[in-house]
Amino acid sequence: MKVISTEKSQILAARIATALNTTLVDVKFSRFPDGELYLAAGKLDKETVIVGSITDSDALVQLLLLIDACEGSQNYLVLPYMGYARQDKKFKDGEPISARAIAGIFGKGIKDCITVNIHEPSVLRYFNMPVTNISLAGDIGDCITSMGLSDPLILAPDDGALAFAQSVASTGGWDCDHLEKTRLSGVDVKMAPKKLCAASRPVVIVDDIISTGGTIATAASMLYKQGATDVYAICVHGVLIGGAYTHLKVGGIRDICCSDTIERSCSRFSAAKSIAAALKG
């Protein structure tokens, strides 16, 4: 078995190869003069783990090319971050179910697939092959432990994210709650933990994705007003579009970290061991 990856998932792929005690396949990436993507894979093995986060349209096309280049091998697909998964239903007439459109592309040439904290697990039914969705809640728990915080409150940004926050909190036996939004007027909204008090303690907001950082920055300013000593943000997928990292820092977030499902400078824990464990079955 060897591991091969798209350009955007090279570091995670190397870590997966180490965790599987195997090697990487070298890949040459370039573009044709008209902008089309080109790649050429090195020598494959009988079994290949193909790693590619869908961070943008080029990453998706590159992943499709890579799967095709792995023809003849028994292939396992790892989608560390599946872009388009947030459009998991038609919110308005005329919209696509983007998650279904993307998931449906994969199947040919793939035996099994692994996803990591996919935004909405119900979209797994759109894949044309068996899919295992793994969670990095334990890795986030380890990351929080390493921060050495005293009696942290683990907060989900909303009730939909509470189950994930609870599984993070259970790794350290920490308190857990979710933020609740109360509309005070046409323009004013209050965000506070639903049941617990944030005063005089550090708060860690955990989420599957940080995209613009807007949700967490707004929550942080309110948590400080409620007396939180420090607010931290940890997520699985650091999408961090535009100036999200700066926006969070300016908003008073002490530290921001994410996994390497999207490779960032603030990727401080790796999905590799959990992915390797899932591949080993």
Q: Which residues bind ligand R5P (CB under 6 A)?
A: 157, 161, 207-215
CB of 210 to ligand R5P, least distance (A): 5
Residue pair 78/275 in contact (Cβ under 8 Å)? The answer is yes
- For residue 90, the Cα-to-chain-centroid distance in whole angstroms is 22
CA 84 – CA 101 distance, rounded (Å): 9
Q: Which residue in 28, 89, 181, 249 is the catalytic one?
A: 181
CB of 154 to ligand R5P, least distance (A): 15
CB of 198 to ligand R5P, least distance (A): 19
Nearest residue (CB) to ligand R5P, 101 versus 241: 241
CB of 164 to ligand R5P, least distance (A): 9
CA distances from 42 to 5, 18, 59, 106, 198 (A): 11, 18, 19, 22, 53
Nearest residue (CB) to ligand R5P, 208 versus 263: 208
According to DSSP, the residues that pair with 39 across neighbouring strands are 29
Nearest residue (CB) to ligand R5P, 50 versus 162: 162
Nearest residue (CB) to ligand R5P, 212 versus 226: 212
> Which pair of tokens denotes residue 2?
């060897």
Helices 137-147, 272-280: crossing angle, 10 deg rounding:
150
Q: How many residues does the chain have?
A: 281
The conformational region for residue 175 under phi > 0 = left, psi -120 to 50 = alpha, else beta, is beta
Q: Is 43 a catalytic residue?
A: no
DSSP 245: H
Active-site residue set: 181
